[in-house]
Amino acid sequence: MSRKINVLIIDDEPTFSETLKEALTAFSYSIYQAYTGDRAIEILKETNIDICFLDIHLPDINGFTLIDKIKEWSPQSEIIIMTAYGEVDYSKTALKTGAYFLPKPFKIGDLSNVLMKMEKTINITDVYEKLKPAIKEDSLITTNSKKMKKILDVADKYASSELPILIIGATGTGKDTLAKYIHSKSSRKDEIFIMQNCASLPETLIESELFGYEKGAFTGAMNRKFGLFEVANKGTIFLNEIAELPLKSQAKILHIIENKSFRRLGGVTDISVDTRIIAATNKNLHEMILEGKLREDLYYRLETLKIELPDLKERIDDIPLLIKAILKKRNVNSAEFHIDPSVMQLFLQYNWPGNIRELENILERAIILSDGKGIYIDNLPINIIRFEEGKIKKSFSLDDVEIEHIKKTLQKVRGNKAKAARILGIDRKTLYRKMDKYSIKDE
C-alpha cells in the first residue's frame, strides 16, 4: 500500500476490541476504537476511515442504523459486521447492506482473506487519488480569442455553482480541457477529478463502471466494486459523450442529480454521494430527444448551465498560443524551436476539421520528423496543404505545391523513398505513382 489504511473498531466489549486491535497490528494499519455509536460517528467525521469493524449490539444505537450513518458520513468505508455464531438472520441482513460478515470468534485466516479483498478495493481508490496533482497542471487555458475569453468568464461563474454543466462542441475542440479548467476553479479543486468517455464503454459494463456492484450481483462478481460516481465523491466526474449512454443509465444519472444518491448493481440500499457532474457531447441533443435516444428530463437538468465551444477555425488567433502549449507538453523549448513562417501561414489558413486535436497530432508528428531545431513544410503531411487553390501562393496551383513538397522531401532524405513516404504520410506505391505523374526524377 502507498499509505496506511485507517481501521475503526466499533465494539462495546473492551477485551474483544483490544484483542482485535492486537491482531490488526500485523497488517500495519492505523487503528481507531469506539465503544459507542456516537463516538464512532465523531471519529468518522474527523478521520478518513477505510474499514469499519462493527458489532451489531451496541449500547446506544442499533448496528444497522449505524451502517446508514456510516454510509452517510463515510461512503468510501468498507464495513465488516461481527456477530456471534447462530445469528443467521443478522448475517443475511449484513450481506444485503453490502457489508462483509464475520461470525465471532473468527480465525486469523478468515480475517486475512476479508482484509485482502478490501485492500484491493482501497488500492483502486488510491490510484484515482493520484490523479489530483496532474489536473492542476493540465487545466490551464490561455487565449487571445474574444469568443474564448467570454466563454472562460462564463466558466468561472459556473465553477462556483454546484449545478451540473453541459459542454457542447465538435470533436477535438477541447471539451475535456474546459471541464478540467472548471474543476480547477471550483471549491472542489483539491478533490478528485475523473474523466469517462461514455462512448468507449461496452453496454454490458456501463452500469458496473459508473455505479459499481455488490459482491454476488452477477456471476463473477467476487468482490464489491466502487463505481466512478462513488470514487469521485466530493469531487467532479466528467462524462464525455453522455448522449451515448443507454436510457436506463441516463435515468440513474438523473436520480443522482435530483437525490444525490444511487444504488450499486445488486444493492438494496441507497448510497449518498456528493459528486459534481460535467457532461459533454458533440451531438445535436434536440434531435436525439426526438429520436428517443436521450431523456428530455435529463437534458433539461443538464442544460441549465450550458457552454458551447467554437471550432478552431473560429479562434485562429489562438493557434500560436496553442502551438506553444503543445510544444511545452512535448518538453520542447518554444523559444529555441523554430516554426517556419510558411508553416505558420499554412496553420493560419487551414480550416482544421479535426480542431485542436488535429493540430496537436500534426505538431507531434512534425516534431518527431524534424531535425530537432524547427518545423518546416517538409515535416507536414500533404493533407494540410490540400485546400483552396492559391491560398499558399497565388502563383502556385495545388499540384505545384505538391510537386515542390515531394522534391524537397526527397532532397532532404537523399532520395530514400521509404523515409520520404513516411514524412509525406503516404505509402511507397503512392509516392512512386506521384513521381511518375509529375515526372519527378531521382536526384
pLDDT for 437 equals: 85
- What is the per-residue pLDDT across 298-307, written as a single tens digit (0 to 9) for each? 999 999 999 9
Q: Which CATH architecture has domain 6-126?
A: 3-Layer(aba) Sandwich (3.40)
Could you tell me what percent of the chain has a pLDDT over 70? 86
Predicted local distance difference test score (pLDDT) of residue 1: 41
Q: Determine the pLDDT at residue 36.
A: 92
Beta strands in 18-87 (DSSP E): 30-34, 51-55, 78-84
Residue 121 has what pLDDT? 62
Mean pLDDT computed over 383-410: 61
- pLDDT, mean of residues 54-62: 87
> What CA–CA distance (Å, rounded) separates 219 from 213?
12
Mean pLDDT of 214-234: 84
Span 384-389, mean pLDDT?
59
Mean pLDDT of the chain: 84
Instruction: Give the CA count within 13 Å in the CB-facing half-sphere of 67.
Output: 25
Mean pLDDT of the region 107-126:
68
Judge whether residue 134 has pLDDT over 60: no
Question: What pLDDT was estimated at residue 132?
Answer: 52
Which residues of the chain does CATH 1.10.8.60 include?
A: 313-437
Position 388 confidence tier, pLDDT thresholds 50, 70, 90: very low
| pLDDT one-digit tens code per residue, 320-376 | 889 988 998 888 887 888 888 888 888 888 889 999 999 999 999 999 888 888 998
Question: What mean pLDDT do residues 31-37 have?
Answer: 93
- pLDDT surpassing 50 at residue 164: yes
- Asked if pLDDT for residue 59 goes beyond 60, the answer is yes
CA 353, 367, 334, 385: dihedral to nearest 10 degrees?
-40
* 248 pLDDT more than 90: yes
At residue 379 the predicted structure's pLDDT band, cuts being 50, 70 and 90, is confident
* Integer-rounded Cα radius of gyration of the chain: 29
The verdict on domain 313-437 having CATH code 1.10.8.60 is: yes
Query: Is 132-310 in CATH node 3.40.50.1820?
Result: no
Domain with CATH 3.40.50.2300 in the chain: 6-126
Delimit the CATH 3.40.50.300 region(s) of the chain: 132-310
Q: Please tell me the predicted confidence (pLDDT) of residue 390.
A: 46
Band of the pLDDT at 397, cuts 50, 70, 90?
very low
pLDDT at 131 over 80: no
Q: What does each C-alpha distance from 38 to 69, 97, 121, 272 come to in angstroms? A: 10, 21, 27, 20
Q: What are phi and psi of 103, to 5 degrees?
A: -75, 140
Query: What percent of the chain lies above the pLDDT cut of 90?
Result: 37
The residue that leads in pLDDT, 29 or 261, is: 261
